[in-house]
Structure 1
Amino acid sequence: MRTLLVMGPGGSGRTTIAAATALEAARDGRRVLLLTTDPAPGLPAGPAPGPGSDPDPLPAPAAGARPGSAPGPGPAHGSPAATDAPPAPAGLTVRRLDPAAHFRRELLALQVHAGPALDLLGAAPLDDDELTPLPGGAPFTYLAALRDAARQEWDLVVADLPALPDAVALLALPEQLRRYLRRLLPPERRAARALRPMLAQLAGVPMPPDGLYEAAARKDADLAAVTDLLAAPTTRVRLVVEPGPAAAGALRTARAGLALHRLPLDAVVANRLLPTASPDPWLADLADRQRAHLKELYEDGAPVREVPHLGRDPRTPADLALLGPLAPDPADAAAPAPPWPVEDLRATEGALVWRVPLPGAVKSDLGLVRRGDELALTVGPFRRLVPLPSALRRCTVTGAALRDGELRVRFAPDPGLWPRTP
């Protein structure tokens, strides 16, 4: 299964590009799932899950679907001109995510699991009709949808992510949450269940019940499925920008954040490009300036795909087809992201150098702190705690430098820990 994560600044057209990519791949005969929180232009979304259903269930992919083999579902409600458009391919499933509904289901499920504790405290449970969504719920909705997608057999999953930099923060969330769970509820402590009553007496406080560890184990398994999906060599990120004064800066920020979390960039989509030959002097001047910013995107070194401006907002599958080709080639070989190398310079400089590729990073936005066997790396709005390679855990940090898009962290061997050479 291939996964394409589509992100970009707000208003760049990432939902349209995600929809066009999914539609093209489905017309090639692939089973495609499109995940989005916004209406996909010209594409119908699947029905929202009803009361009592599993959290965020996904329909099974249509086996053996081929373009035109069966009529697609009806047009999306309120889609202009959708009734005149050809049906979507049977192999395409569009899932419009609902963060508010996901929040209600999760909170109601939590009340059920925590019912005995709530009764003990005399708490009154909340009803479905009095729950209102809280800010920040969308990332958890995406994680649940990606978890379900990872457990099914799609040929391609296209995820229309939130705007930058929230999209990069969302992709870093599974790793962070697993870290928090393991620190707060270490799995190895559950092995001492027979000793828990005695430990409770010695400590004078109640110990966490088995149900809490079981819930943590289930959540950890869910997060592990998403983590494996994001780390798979078949997962790529596609960045959508509209060439303009802010496009190059958005690309640099996104590339640095993606590199920090070792998420490979598939391509940069230069969206809504105006035609260069226009009889209107104002449009011709605007197109020239747009092309100048497009050149900056090419100079960054990332692969660029140019998408034309249709002169209107895409409204039908036929409009989306005019934006291609955008679908990833299924024959492209995918390789896992290489580990950050450690260069041994002990013979010449008495140091080990950890080389961390951070294209787009700016020196003034970098931060670096050693925490035990981890290194806390900050790149602009992004932060990650990275485990040190075993050799570097016996060293101390002596300096760091950013050169040609690569952070080089110097480590000096600790004489008290490093084995002595004869």
Structure 2
Amino acid sequence: MRTVLVTGPGGAGRTTVAAATALAAARRGERALLLTADREDATARLLGGERPPGLDVVRVDSGAHFRDELLALQDRAGTVLDLLGAGRLDAEELTELPGAEQLALLRAVRETAGGGHDLVVVDLPPVHQSIAALALPGQLRRYLRRLLPPERQAARSLRPVLAQLAGVPMPARRLYETAARWDAELAAVEAVVSAPSTTVRLVAEPGEAAVAALRTARLGLALHELPLDAVIANRVLPTGSSDRFLSALSGHQQCALKELAEEFDGVPLHEVPHLGRDPRGTEELDELIDGPTGESGLWAEDGEAVPPGPWRVEDRLAEDGVLVWHLPLPGARKDQLGLVRRGDELLLTVGPFRRIATLPSALRRCTVSGAALTDGALRIRFTPDPDLWPRTH
């Protein structure tokens, strides 16, 4: 199963492109699933109420997901809440919090794994929210490990005895069991997001602002090692219009398209024509796929994803006495970078994005001796710590 995550700046037509991508797969004879959390159910309007053969559509109800999860947590923490004299919440009074939509969508992505579909297309929120959401499972797992270290769970066998001595229930066991369940669910989501068969597709309406937004988005994707399989330029106007206004707009778009092609060299850049209206129904989505003149479709074949490159350690101990950690960050600037070593972790800030990465085992026994940003890659030099590095005889 392949998973395509569709995102881009707000108002760029992400839902339209996601629906067209899933429909194109269904037209090829694949079994496709379109997954969306759109509150207004724009996919129903796009498909015109039709359900083409081979295409399933699931709209995630993030409000219901939030209520179910919070009520389940309340039930599991019932003993603690009773001890504190807390009042229980009812489903009718619960309103979802910010971020609930992304969490519900990620859980739905995990639940689709192994569902028998050839392709799952996920209509994600705007790009900055999407990058934060895709990084969330790893971040939450890190928080759980810090707050409730797994190695301390061995002591839970003593808690029933302590409960009898104290005469009150001990909530720690239930707390660790809940943390373990959360960690397992987050790990399953993280596995789907980081799978080689999962790629990201960026959508934007070509223009100066879109180029800047996609440049920043690519940097965020690279920071979290998410492969990009295509850039979709949506609502592209025809060239050669005799109308001065349309000709000027088209000229600006063509300049932006040229800049995108240079910025994303090596990444497929597809142009989706402007129909002069919002598409509605499968026939008009087919027109987006095939183009107004019936040429070969944009999604006739899925291109190879273009990963930012692996984070790898280069052994230069024999030559320079150092290990070098290569972190591809295309488009990064030195004034955007922040780098802090903290124990066995690296706190890396790149523009508006941040990631806390665990150091490879070999680098944990080294000290940071320098860093340089060249050719779109951050190279961090590590010198072995003589007190920790194995000695040779």
TM-score by length of 2: 0.89
5 Å-filtered alignment, 1:93-104, equals 93-104=56-67
- The one-letter code of the counterpart of 1:414 is D
Deviation at 1:334, TM superposition (A): 7.4
* 204, 209, 217: which one aligns with 2:172: 209
**1:366 is aligned to 2:337:** yes
Whole-angstrom CA distance in 1 between matches of 2:325 and 2:47: 56
Structure 2: distance between partners of 1:195 and 1:338: 48
Say if 2:379 is the partner of 1:413. Answer: no
Equivalent position of 2:8 in the other structure: 8
Map of 1:225 onto structure 2 = 188
Post-superposition shift, 1:211? 2.0
Correspondences of 1:250-269 after superposition (within 5 Å): 250-269=213-232
- Note the C-alpha offset of 1:259: 1.0
Is the contact between residue 138 and residue 190 of structure 2 (CA under 8 Å) also seen in structure 1?
yes
1:317 aligns with 2:321: no
- Give CA deviations for 1:370-398 in whole Å, capped at 9, x if unaligned: 01111111111211111212221121111
* Whole-Å separation in 1 of the counterparts to 2:200 and 2:140: 21
Structure 1 stretch displaced more, 238-247 or 90-99: 90-99
In the alignment, which of 368, 371, 380 is matched to residue 397 of structure 1?
Answer: 368
The number of equivalent residue pairs is: 382
**1:290 paired to 2:253:** yes
Aligned counterpart, 1:239: 202
Report if aligned partners of 1:32, 1:92 keep a CA contact under 8 Å in 2.
yes
Q: Which runs of 5+ in 2 are unaligned?
A: 290-296
Deviation at 1:409, TM superposition (A): 0.7
User: Could you tell me which residue of structure 2 aligns to residue 26 of structure 1?
Assistant: 26
Shift in alpha-carbon separation, 1:40–1:317, aligned structure 2, 3 A:
farther
Aligned counterpart, 2:271: 306
Q: CA deviation at 1:206?
A: 8.4
Structure 2 distance, partners of 1:153, 1:127, is 37
Of residues 234, 237, 241, the one that matches 1:274 is 237
What residue is the counterpart of 2:158 in the other structure?
Answer: 195
Shift of residue 81, structure 1, vs aligned partner: 9.8
Q: CA RMSD, aligned part only?
A: 2.6
Deviation at 1:165, TM superposition (A): 0.9
Match of 2:294 in 1: none
Change (3 A) 1:148 1:358: same
Distance in 2 (alpha carbons) for counterparts of 1:81 and 1:305:
22
1:342 paired with 2:307, answer no
C-alpha deviation, 1:412, in angstroms: 1.6
Q: Give the secondary structure class of the aligned counterpart of 1:213.
A: helix
1:230-269 deviation per Cα after TM superposition (whole angstroms, max 9, x unaligned): 1111100000011111122112211111111111001111
Provide the secondary structure at the position in 2 that maps to 1:257.
helix
Structure with bigger helix share is 2
Per-residue deviation, 1:345: 2.7
**Whole-Å separation in 2 of the counterparts to 1:242 and 1:143:** 26
Is residue 2:82 matched to residue 1:116? Answer: no
CA distance in 1, matches of 2:91, 2:219: 41
Structure 1 gaps, min length 5: 45-78
In the alignment, what sits opposite 1:58? Answer: none
Alpha-carbon distance between aligned partners in 1 of 2:196 and 2:249, rounded to the nearest angstrom: 39
171 and 225 in structure 1: CA distance in 2 versus 1, 3 angstrom threshold: same
The 2-side partners of 1:192 and 1:269 are apart by 53
CA distance in 2, matches of 1:80, 1:266: 24
User: Does 88-97 or 300-309 show the bigger shift?
Assistant: 88-97
The CA deviation at 1:152 is: 2.1
Per-residue CA distance 1:200-251 (angstroms, 9 max, x = gap): 8999x98643222222222112111111111111100000011111122112
Residue 113 of structure 1: how far off its partner (Å): 1.9
- Does 2:5 match 1:17? no
Distance 1:259 1:336 in 2: 8
Shift of 1:351: 2.1
Task: Report the counterpart of residue 48 of structure 2 in structure 1.
Answer: 82
Residue 356 of structure 2 corresponds to residue 356 of structure 1: no
